[in-house]
Structure 1
Amino acid sequence: MDWSRIPSLAALRAFEALARHNSLSAAARDLNVTHAAIAQHLRALETHFGESLATRDGQTMKLTETGRDLADALGEGFGRIAEGVTDIMDRNAIRPITVTLTPSFAEAWLMPRMGQFWSQHPEVEVRLVPSMALANLRRDGIDLAIRFGNGDWPGNDVEPLAVSQFVVVAAPTYTKARTLDELGGLSAHDWFFSAAANEQRVWGKAIGVDFDKVGAQDMANNGMVLSAARAGLGLSIQSKALVAPDLDSGQLTTLYEGDPEGLGYYIVTRPGVLSPGARAFRAWLRKMAQAQV
């Protein structure tokens, strides 16, 4: 490596903090240095590259195109350094693990089972981060993600997690139909979704329901969606595990079930060595999914 072509690591670290915070003052507080020190590092980097990296935009700093390129490279590079250091330090240590997952999966599948994991692994602290966003595992310090889709997340280790399928449900008072075909024009019906979920829309599109054309109503949470469906106000797509009691009691009926090929939940991890806690949690997820099959 030709270190003469690389600016000082202190300047690069300062710029990475500036890019994250979009503020000289916030970057200075983050690194426990002065505002002037961050500004000096920025000027040194701009001199090194021969072009502007950031400009003032009111009270914040706005990155130029070159600045964004540099910030992306530094974020990935420093993230990889942090990952390597953490892996070495944690090879023989149990530390808290961070798991990101969709709110729907947390509600319908994971939380009813988490007590079993905690009883089997009381030494592992699990921090659950429900989110619809696709986190950058390395940058955000995520040990394991549970994502919904077709498994196409390049740069990560991905394996399917065979869990409950989704179903289209409605109350018997809403329709006497027993299939989507019997419903006729889907756009003539009211569909309800939770604003804190996206699996249902992805799944519905895969079975041929285009909600950009059909339209649907978003509600604040899935509890409100289920209340609307039980009251006979319209249709919804739900995890079969979540609505099993309603189906058994006859409060809801299914109009479609069966997951499209390749679409489902996946365990996603960073390539390389997982911490002992993350390995234990992944093995437990596999076991619980297998027990459900």
Structure 2
Amino acid sequence: MDWKEIPSLASLRAFEALARHGSLSAAARELNVTHAAVSQHLRQLEADFAEPLALREGQGMALTEAGHELAAALGEGFAMIAEGVARMRARREQRPVVVALTPSFAESWLMPRMGGFWAAHPEVEVRLVPGIALSDLRRDGIDLAIRFGGGTWPGVEAEMLTANRFAVVAAPGYTKARSLEDLGKLTAHDWFFSTGASEQRLWGAVVGVDFQTVGAREMASNGMVVSAVRAGLGLSIQALALIEPDLQSGQLIALHEGDAAGLGYYIVTRPEPLSPGAQIFRRWLRRAAG
């Protein structure tokens, strides 16, 4: 298609509206432009085609034979465009909401709560994509991500979901100590981390443990780490948001709780409108986080 051979779309839109309404003023109101602007578009088209397309008739405008022919073609063409746009919007609204997040957050925080979402919104399909690597939301087709950090990632919008308080945890039978002071020398204990959980190493500095020196046993997932600690094999540093159920049930005890300087879990989205399903899921996340 050679766009140089086609009059401006603004002129064609103005004429199509004029043809439907039979009035310059009504066409101008629909397009939110002035009466003079619609008249100017009409004159430009008539100059381009070298023949009149509409003539004044009383209070309105009557189409000439050429005007009727152009109006029919434009009506059909714009209807096809509208239909294609509607199909694309419906496709966006109906496709699953794709959510990227860390495996530990999925296992410990999100999945215990997802039953509530499914019960409240059975019409919204959510596809979870757990992973350690930082997703490119646009390239990977991600609607929404839940990331850990300070909320300053370029090219995206970040909203705090849950502030990042953390705890040093152990099984109740691991030690009689109920605080770090009671526990004694931190370097004398086995520590467990999940692969890629950089936040756990940051918290180590807060409680006075240099894990570059002490070392720790790494597990493939945070679920495995928590299982090892529940079994009484050692200590771990965990986000309170991820281990609340274990603390409430008594499977784990907190020997220390702390705050890590603005770090937390954030809802991350592209700087553009979310699909209806993604908006519903984001609102639910906010409520679930309290």
TM-score by length of 2: 0.62
CA separation of 1:145 and 1:170: change in aligned 2, threshold 3 A = same
- Give the distance between the partners of 2:181 and 2:151, measured in 1 at CA: 29
Opposite residue 95 of structure 2, the aligned amino acid is R
Within a 5 Å distance, the mapping from 1:30-69 to structure 2 comes to none
Whose radius of gyration is greater, 1 or 2?
A: 2
CA separation of 1:247 and 1:116: change in aligned 2, threshold 3 A = closer
- Match in the other structure for 2:68: none
Q: How large is the RMSD of aligned CA atoms in angstroms?
A: 3.0
- Give the distance between the partners of 1:183 and 1:147, measured in 2 at CA: 32
- 1:178-212 deviation per Cα after TM superposition (whole angstroms, max 9, x unaligned): 33344444322210122364443344345553322
CA separation of 1:155 and 1:164: change in aligned 2, threshold 3 A = closer
CA separation of 1:161 and 1:204: change in aligned 2, threshold 3 A = farther
CA separation of 1:247 and 1:285: change in aligned 2, threshold 3 A = closer
- Match in the other structure for 1:137: 137
Answering whether residue 288 of structure 2 is matched by residue 288 of structure 1, we say yes
8 Å CA contact 1:165–1:258 kept in 2: the answer is yes
- Give the distance between the partners of 1:249 and 1:111, measured in 2 at CA: 17
Report sequence identity in percent: 67
Give the stretch that moved more between structures: 259-268 or 205-214: 205-214
Opposite residue 228 of structure 1, the aligned amino acid is A
Unaligned runs of 5+ in 1: 1-85
- Give the distance between the partners of 1:145 and 1:187, measured in 2 at CA: 35
CA separation of 1:141 and 1:284: change in aligned 2, threshold 3 A = same
8 Å CA contact 1:147–1:267 kept in 2: the answer is yes
Answering whether residue 255 of structure 2 is matched by residue 270 of structure 1, we say no
What is the deviation of 1:121? 1.9
Within a 5 Å distance, the mapping from 1:79-94 to structure 2 comes to 89-90=88-89, 93-94=93-94
- Give the distance between the partners of 1:289 and 1:227, measured in 2 at CA: 24
8 Å CA contact 1:187–1:215 kept in 2: the answer is no
What is the deviation of 1:241? 5.2
Answering whether residue 112 of structure 2 is matched by residue 112 of structure 1, we say yes
8 Å CA contact 1:163–1:289 kept in 2: the answer is no
- 1:72-96 deviation per Cα after TM superposition (whole angstroms, max 9, x unaligned): xxxxxxxxxxxxxx9x933873321
SS at match of 1:108: helix
Unaligned runs of 5+ in 2: 1-84
- Give the distance between the partners of 2:93 and 2:227, measured in 1 at CA: 45
SS at match of 1:93: helix
What is the deviation of 1:166? 2.8
Give the stretch that moved more between structures: 141-150 or 171-180: 171-180
8 Å CA contact 2:162–2:265 kept in 1: the answer is yes
The count of residues paired between Structure 1 and Structure 2 equals 206
